[in-house]
Structures are given as structure tokens and as C-alpha cells.
Amino acid sequence: MSDEIAENGTANGDVPEIELIIKASTIDGRRKGACLFCQEYFMDLYLLAELKTISLKVTTVDMQKPPPDFRTNFEATHPPILIDNGLAILENEKIERHIMKSVPGGHNLFVQDKEVASLIENLYSKLKLVLVRKDEQKSAALRAHLGRIDALLERRGTRFLTGDTMCCFDCELMPRLQHIRVAGKYFVDFEIPTSFRALWRYMFHMYQLDAFTQSCPADQDIINHYKLQQALKMKKHEELETPTFTTSIPIDFNDLNNSDQ
């Protein structure tokens, strides 16, 4: 297992150590990968480590060649995987619940805010549609959705979504905004309009924060993540087909024979 340890919190044994296993880059197994849930929980836990309620250990696993002990312990389970006091939590929803209910300080991250919750909920699926369909209609829908987030930030006037400190919604939204920015630009020349000033101010603040920059994959890893998805999808298509052999002739058989010697 390639260990990338981001130790935080106090060095003494007063706070529990939480380990988060994240997917490595598909380009370089030593780098962080472009896994949205991995980054989201990385950010959640990083904030708690900064508050010194836990100490955090982050381990990257190259899923193209997982180490034998990872295979033995987790078989086909993909990161993120959270390990707390010898207990491994494998499902995203359970990881989220565990951070909220059982990790010291975690409950502070989980703010109740229905407006924000429903506003950011379907943003990412709009990026996926843009990348698959590549038409202006889908790009316009993504842009409109970003416009609604910009309007909320403008109206609330807060630094983050629910106030001046970060919460779970920020850890959910910002990795997705980064994918939209990098992959949208690369694949379909989509750009977040500069007129969305409150949204850019929000991103500007995020880019200053260690919780984001320490957990963020490289642009190349984000781009490669979608390229591999597309290549696998393309490959799948042929795999499902019954093999066919093009041996028909587009002109009339008798005509051909007549002109034959």
C-alpha cells in the first residue's frame, strides 16, 4: 500500500486516529486520484484534524495493482474506505454517517440546510450529461444550475454555503465544481461565466484552504478519469455486440459478374 500520510492533530494519544483510504491517480499510483467521494471525506476529516479532534492518516491505493494486504482485507471494495479503531467502513453513506455521529467534532460539520442540500444535489449529474451529449442545451442547463448557486451565495453574502465556516455541503460541492471547471473546459470548452462573481469568490476562498488543496487531484488526473470512463464505455459497446463480418457488396452482384472477365 503506497502510504501518503497527512498527519494532523496532536501527536500525543489524546485524539483518535482515523484512517481514510482513497483511490490513487490512474496516471501515477503515488498521486491522489480524481474520486469525488474520496475528496469529499478527505476534506471533512481534514477540517476535523485541523480542529485537533482527530489525527488523520490518508492512504492512497492504486486500484490497478492493489497491494496483497488490501486485496485480502477488502476484496473488490473500492475506496473511499474509512478505518476507525480497527473498524472498516466501506459504503459512502455509512462513512458519512460515521463522520457525523461517531468521529469527534464531526457533528459540527453536519449543518441542517434544506435549501443548500437541494440546490447542490443534482449539479454533478448535469456535468455527466454535458460530457456524454456534448450539446449546447446540456451546457446551458449546467450553466443555469451554477447560476442558482451563484445567486444563493450572492444573496447570503457568506464566505461558504451555510455561513463563514465550512460545512459538509462545501466539502461536497467544491470537488464537483473543480471537476466541472477542469473536465468541462477540456472536453467541451465549457467555462463557468466570469459574471458569476459570488461563485468565483467562493472558489477563490476554497483555493486558499489546505483542506481543499491537500485533497485536490491534479487537472491531468481529473481529465484522465473521464477519458478512461469514455474508453471503457466505448469498449463495452463492442463487447456486447455479436460479432459481425462486413462482406456484403454495395453494388449489384450480377452487374459485377457481367463486367467480370
**Total residues contacting a copy of itself (rule CB under 8 A)?**
47
Exactly one of 51, 158, 176, 187 binds a copy of itself (CB under 8 A); that residue is: 158
CA-derived radius of gyration, the chain: 23
> Does 159 engage in binding with a copy of itself (CB under 8 A)?
yes
Cβ within 8 Å of residue 209, ≥6 positions away: 166
Exactly one of 64, 93, 241, 254 binds a copy of itself (CB under 8 A); that residue is: 241
> Does 256 engage in binding with a copy of itself (CB under 8 A)?
yes
Which residue shows C-alpha cell 442540500?
117
- In the complex, what is the shortest distance from the CB of residue 232 to a copy of itself, in angstroms, rounded to a whole number? 9
> Does 197 engage in binding with a copy of itself (CB under 8 A)?
yes
> Comparing C-alpha atoms, which of 165, 160, 153 is closest to residue 108?
165
C-alpha span between 10 and 50 (Å, rounded): 9
> Does 182 engage in binding with a copy of itself (CB under 8 A)?
yes
Question: CA–CA distance from 50 to each of 42, 111, 122 (Å)?
Answer: 12, 18, 30
> Does 214 engage in binding with a copy of itself (CB under 8 A)?
no
Exactly one of 33, 178, 184, 215 binds a copy of itself (CB under 8 A); that residue is: 178
> Does 187 engage in binding with a copy of itself (CB under 8 A)?
no
Binding segment for a copy of itself among 27-35, 40-48, 63-71, 165-173 (CB under 8 A)? Answer: 27-35
> Does 228 engage in binding with a copy of itself (CB under 8 A)?
yes
> Does 165 engage in binding with a copy of itself (CB under 8 A)?
no
Q: Torsions phi, psi of 258, nearest 5?
A: -65, -35
Question: CA–CA distance from 86 to each of 16, 22, 72, 186 (Å)?
Answer: 11, 17, 15, 41
Q: Which is nearer to a copy of itself, 89 or 209 (CB)?
A: 209
Q: Which is nearer to a copy of itself, 92 or 214 (CB)?
A: 214
> Does 207 engage in binding with a copy of itself (CB under 8 A)?
yes
Residue 161 burial (CB count, 10 A):
25
> Does 155 engage in binding with a copy of itself (CB under 8 A)?
no
Burial class (CB in 10 A: 0-12, 13-18, 19+), 158: middle
Cβ within 8 Å of residue 203, ≥6 positions away: 174, 177, 181
Under the rule (CB under 8 A), what is the footprint of a copy of itself? Answer: 27-28, 31, 157-159, 178, 181-182, 191, 194, 197, 200-201, 203-204, 207, 213, 216, 218-221, 223-224, 227-228, 231, 234-235, 238-239, 241, 243-247, 249-251, 253, 255-256, 259-261
